[in-house]
Amino acid sequence: MKYSVNLNELKINYLNEVEGESLIEFLQLFKMSKKNLHLLFTEKRIKVNRTTVQREYILQKNDEITIQMPIEEIDYAMDKKCAEVVYEDDLVCVVHKDAGIIVHEDDKQKTGTLANQVATYYAQQGYSIPVRYIHRLDEETQGLVLFCKVPLLQPWFDEELMEKRIERTYHAITFNRPSEDEMTIDKRLGRDRHDAKRMRVSSTGKDALTKLKVISHNDMYSLIECKLETGRTHQIRVHLSAIHCPIVNDNLYGRMTKDFDGMGLYAVSLKWTDPFTKEKRIVFDSLLPKIIL
């Protein structure tokens, strides 16, 4: 399949892979809500070959689907700082987050978050779309965050994340060296009953699995690649602390050092699949500091 987005119009064609399926079966592939699917048809915002059709319409490979998406507005207040966009296409943008800011506030009119910076970028580009993040990073973690530019497709990206098909890779600078250069940490995590800000390893907690690989090390520190199989709060930080390799300058689970600036956890790359073309996308964060041990 191929697609294009122009303002609020999404066009999809070259439908070889879905020839013979009904239009509603095709749309359900993208995990759209029942409400949104209902509105597409009742408001006649979906057409095939520029003609309004029923949901049972059987698709042919040369058909062109056109979806008129509702006109929406940027829903977060704009910030003084504009987001630093590392990658962008018609469906998503990938943004660099600095340490010391959070991804979003519940109150969208507050400023100072990454979502506000993205709102500023959207306004500068002339986009009239809401800000929709797909995942989050801890406040002191630097690196890549994925945003969906087509709200109809957010449920698809949400499920891709939940099913572990969006691959997030981190680098961590830790005290000490793991007992093995490659290992998997499979330790359940739960809330610390004595400190609401902290998580801890708990037999009654939620499943949490992190894969580690030592990239380099010296007598004091290690640089470790971490890949998340689950996305629990503070997962990498707690797991590394649990194997006696706490992240440098982590004020909850590690200890401080003047050898590095800020907390040593970086979201270095994102890998996902385009929902229409099925091509793999991989983005690296060139704005992160170079770490050499």
Rounded CA gap, 223 and 215, in Å? 6
- Dist. CA 18–CA 280, nearest whole Å: 19
Phi, psi of 223 (to 5 degrees): -105, 120
What amino acid is encoded at 46 in this protein?
Answer: I
Q: Please say if 138 is a catalytic residue.
A: yes
Q: Which two tokens stand for residue 8?
A: 């609020």
Catalytic residue among 63, 79, 138, 250: 138
Q: Cα–Cα distance between 220 and 205 in angstroms, integer?
A: 32
3-state helix/strand/coil string of 28-72: HCCCCCHHHHHHHHHCCCEEECCEECCCCCECCCCCCEEEECCCC
Catalytic residues: 138
